[in-house]
Amino acid sequence: MTVKVRFFARFRELLGTDIPAETETGSTLLSLVRGIAEKKKEGYNAIFDDHGNFHEFVIVMRNGKRVEHEDAAAVRVSDGDEIAVFPPVAGG
Amino acid sequence: MIRVQTEDVDIGALITAAKEPGTGAVVVFDGIVRDDDITEMELEAYADVAVAEMEKIAKEAIGQFRLLHVDIIHRIGRLAVGENILIIVVSAGHRPEAYAGSRYIIEEIKKSVPIWKKELTRHGGRWVPGEHGHGKGKPE
């Protein structure tokens, strides 16, 4: 199945964006993002801590709805999902 | 009108359109690229979610402050010093509601709307740090 992963701002500069990811049924949101971020060390370190958990300030969304960090290891992605990962917002 | 767009807007036309029947006050907030020793500012948005979030904020503000009209236009792309970034136009029957509603909208946008700013300088660029992540931590 295919899932789209979008990084924004500094994370986009480090990892790219609109990344189509082929993943197995049952993959969790956390494992999916980790798998993509691991390809670039600086990008991975910007998003994850030494234990492989999202840094506290990182915001994660699935299909436009926020996912709490404690749920990311349990939420299973579905075909066609759009996952967004970004730093704290700074508009206005 | 709630939009994320590259183009500037005609604020005068927005003020005219905001004068709904019963209007006694129109408040305009115009956020501008400040000259903090930068060459330009680059703005990026998660556009679909940003518009949906601003629509939600506008609806809340209309309910809480009895606003008669709300426009929010947030620009993206590269902007020069002095250009408009964010225009909020609200109208209400009286000035307390118009001022309070406008203030509510800008503060909520800063908390939750997925838009980012990068200040471009002669030496490169720096992302403007946001204040509101999932938790207490801050990016390095």
B33-54: per-residue pLDDT in tens?
A: 999 999 999 999 999 999 999 9
With CB atoms and an 8 Å threshold, state whether B44 touches A87. Answer: no
Query: Tokens 């234990």 sit at which residue?
Result: A51
Residue pair B14/B84 in contact (Cβ under 8 Å)? The answer is no
CA distance, residue B45 to nearest chain A CA (Å): 8
Smallest CA-to-CA distance from A48 within A63, A58, A39, A40 is with A58
Question: Residue B132: its pLDDT value, please?
Answer: 66
Q: Is the pLDDT of residue A24 over 90?
A: no
**Residues B68-113 pLDDT 10s:** 999 999 999 999 999 999 999 999 999 999 999 999 999 999 999 9
Q: Where are the domains of chain A?
A: 2-86
The chain A residue lying nearest B107, using CA atoms, is: A92
Q: Is the pLDDT of residue B137 over 80?
A: no
Query: Tokens 């009895």 sit at which residue?
Result: B66
Smallest CA-to-CA distance from B93 within B64, B60, B59, B68 is with B68
Q: Label residue B35 exposed, middle or buried (CB < 10 Å: 0-12, 13-18, 19+).
A: exposed
With CB atoms and an 8 Å threshold, state whether A46 touches B139. Answer: yes
Q: Is the pLDDT of residue B117 over 90?
A: yes
**Dist CA B61 CA B63 (whole Å):** 5
**Could you give the ipTM of this predicted complex?**
0.93
The chain B residue lying nearest A12, using CA atoms, is: B44
Q: Is the pLDDT of residue B127 over 70?
A: yes
**Dist CA B51 CA B83 (whole Å):** 21
Q: Say which CATH topology domain B2-127 has.
A: Aldehyde Oxidoreductase; domain 3 (3.90.1170)
Q: A25 or B13: which carries more pLDDT confidence?
A: B13
With CB atoms and an 8 Å threshold, state whether B114 touches A91. Answer: yes
Question: Considering only residues 41 to 60 of chain B, which have any Cβ-Cβ distance to chain A shorter than 8 Å?
Answer: 43-46, 48-50, 52
Question: Considering only residues 21 to 80 of chain A, which have any Cβ-Cβ distance to chain B shorter than 8 Å?
Answer: 46, 54-61, 64, 68-69
Residue pair B139/A46 in contact (Cβ under 8 Å)? The answer is yes
With CB atoms and an 8 Å threshold, state whether A89 touches B31. Answer: no
Question: Residue B136: its pLDDT value, please?
Answer: 52
Smallest CA-to-CA distance from B60 within B95, B127, B111 is with B111
Cβ-based contacts of B129 with chain A (< 8 Å): 88, 90
Smallest CA-to-CA distance from A5 within A60, A44, A57 is with A60
Q: Say which CATH topology domain A2-86 has.
A: Ubiquitin-like (UB roll) (3.10.20)
Give chain B's largest Cα–Cα span: 52
pLDDT band of A25, cuts 50, 70, 90: confident
Question: Residue B138: its pLDDT value, please?
Answer: 58
Mean pLDDT of A15-32: 91
